[in-house]
Chains A and B, each alone.
Chain A
Amino acid sequence: MLGGDDVAPDLTDVRRAVEAASVAETARITATLIRVTGDWSLAEDCVQDAFARALVDWPERGVPGNPGAWLTTVAKNRAIDRIRNAASEKRAVGELAVLTELEGLEDGSGGYRAAGDDRLSLIYTCCHPALPLDARVALTLRTVAGLTTREIARAFLVSEATMAKRLVRARAKIRDAGIPYRVPPPELISERTSGIMAVLYLLFNEGYSATGGSSLVREPLALEAIRLTRLLSALLKGSPQEPESLGLLALMLFHHARRRTRTDAAGDLVTLEEQDRGFWDQSAITEAVALLAAADHLGVSLRSGPCSYRVQAGIAACHMTAGDFGSTDFARVAGLYDSLAQIAPSPVVELNRAVAVAMSQGPEAGLALIDTLDRTRSLEGYYLLPAAKADLLRRLGRQSEARSEYQRALDLAPSETERRYLGKRLAEADPGATAEFIPNESATATQHERGQE
């Protein structure tokens, strides 16, 4: 089992091996231990203990040939010990059956029977709609992604104690409210899978939209979200939910591809038009294009209806594959927003559609749509509506109206980053300035998704 290298390996190599094993194995081992023991804390603790042991053991004895099997054995034995010790104190019912099953667990290189299903059960349970949204996110990061409570607390800018309490509460509700540990039955699977994707996309946005001081600690969340969506897509392979999952992965990769160009050195937002496309991550874009094509192809063959993430990825593809801003196919973008409005109607989608219409048919057409939307007051308090309106007015040379809309947007802007951006635009919108249309990047790509959450 410990058939690793004879020579003691380099410490950094060992650490790298432990990290790689953590990424590859945490969810699988945790998922199986939860299935067998029904005890979330026990499973998580035992897996964490196994990694702690690896950090001590592997530098001395070498990295085992099959790290996953090694970790599984250690975690399993730890679980057996803990259950035996607890059982001698209070003799819980059913303990013997659990122990028998634990001891019977295979830990060879073949992995567990139905290991894939265990991981899916884990993800579906972590994202059960009866859990509060913040708990779904935290639990997914803790048990599926294998992040420590401290890491999650740091990323969500709360104390470790607060995060620990949130996780304890979530595990208690799973147990006490009888949330089942399983892949949901066919009648629930579509709705519950959408629920998982909403959690993963929220997680992605937490990392992606972080700016300024918090971005360093939050950015890894976007990478975790991408990794988890890859895992979900692999686990859903061949199911009717696969196209949507691939669409979500493509969408994340499109956004991720321009992460370096979203803000400037001062931390100010840079619009899609002004971003330096030379710094976009071309390999991420290429992968996203291929994933979206595969998702659409599968969607057709499975006759699954249009789904929101695939359409959103289609919109992102229009932006990300255009050589420059001016050559973006805005008519297609407007058409895709039309489809999106049918699948998931929302005033934010209408606003984005209006911006795309302005770009393809001219500012008057866009302005008319925004005015209609403004009158419904459905986006009252949402700063991007007056911001988009101001940009169109400025483009039409109606500077004083543009200024008052910029002011309105400035008063509603949620954070300093947006206020600085709008302040600059307001300063530029003096009567002498040349009219130039600068759409807000968020209005075309990111904000509508956040608005739907």
Chain B
Amino acid sequence: MEYMLFICSDPSAPEYVAAEDSIVEWVAEMEARGVARHGDRLRPVEDATTVTVRAGEVVVSDGPFAETKEWIAGYDIIACADLDEAIEVASKHPMARFGKIEIRPVWPLGE
């Protein structure tokens, strides 16, 4: 099954410590295991643009679609046997310690 990990900030999480950031090791392990499909960081919400089409008109606005204290700082698409493996993979991600991770199953079109 494919899952998307939303790597989120969390104001209540411990302070980020660069020396404890194990993202390189995580990527290496998950690629070696064949789990990691694709993932990256995301630029901050200040760089976000929101687009809507209303009555045929494209409306572009600055900023994220919802103002929240938490935001998505990155994402990863992973392929796992089941939710327990996805939980294990997410729990090893450094941002599980410095932020939080939401696991969402991918819902293929037509299913």
Contacts and interface: CB of A to CB of B under 8 A. Distances in A.
B84 A177 contact: no
Interface in B1-20: 1, 3
Interface in A195-223: none
A172 to B, nearest CB: 11
A184 B105 contact: no
B83 interface: yes
Interface string B78-102: 0011111011000000000000000
B7 to A, nearest CB: 18
Interface of A is mostly: loop
A35 to B, nearest CB: 15
A176 interface: yes
Interface of B is mostly: mixed
Contacts of A155: none
Which of B1, B83, B105, B107 has the most A CB atoms < 10 Å from its CB? B83
B107 A178 contact: no
Nearest to A184: B84
A180 B105 CA distance: 13
Interface string B56-88: 000000000000000000000000111110110
Contacts of A176: 105, 107
Contacts of A128: 83
B20 to A, nearest CB: 23
Contact of A188 (B3, B84, B103): B84
Interface residues of B, number: 12
A180 B84 contact: yes
Contacts of B80: 178
A180 B107 CA distance: 17
Contacts of A184: 84
Interface string A149-162: 00000000000000
Interface in A328-352: none
A294 interface: no
Contacts of B3: 178
A130 B87 CA distance: 10
Interface string A306-341: 000000000000000000000000000000000000
Interface in A161-200: 176-180, 184, 188
Interface in A117-172: 128, 130
Nearest to A185: B84
Contacts of B1: 178
A179 to B, nearest CB: 5
Contacts of A178: 1, 3, 80-83, 86, 105
Contacts of A179: 82-84
A355 to B, nearest CB: 33
Nearest to B82: A180
A299 B1 CA distance: 39
Which of B80, B82, B86 has the most A CB atoms < 10 Å from its CB? B82
Interface string A58-83: 00000000000000000000000000
A177 B83 CA distance: 6
Contacts of B105: 176-178
Which of A176, A178, A184 has the most B CB atoms < 10 Å from its CB? A178
A178 to B, nearest CB: 4
Given A130-B87, A176-B105, A180-B84, 9 more contacts: A128-B83, A177-B103, A178-B3, A178-B81, A178-B82, A178-B86, A179-B82, A179-B83, A184-B84
15 contacts: A128-B83, A130-B83, A130-B87, A176-B105, A177-B105, A178-B1, A178-B3, A178-B83, A178-B105, A179-B82, A180-B82, A180-B83, A180-B84, A184-B84, A188-B84
Interface of B: 1, 3, 80-84, 86-87, 103, 105, 107
Give the 10 A-B CB pairs with smallest separation, nearest first: A180-B82, A178-B1, A178-B82, A178-B83, A179-B83, A177-B105, A177-B83, A180-B84, A176-B105, A130-B83
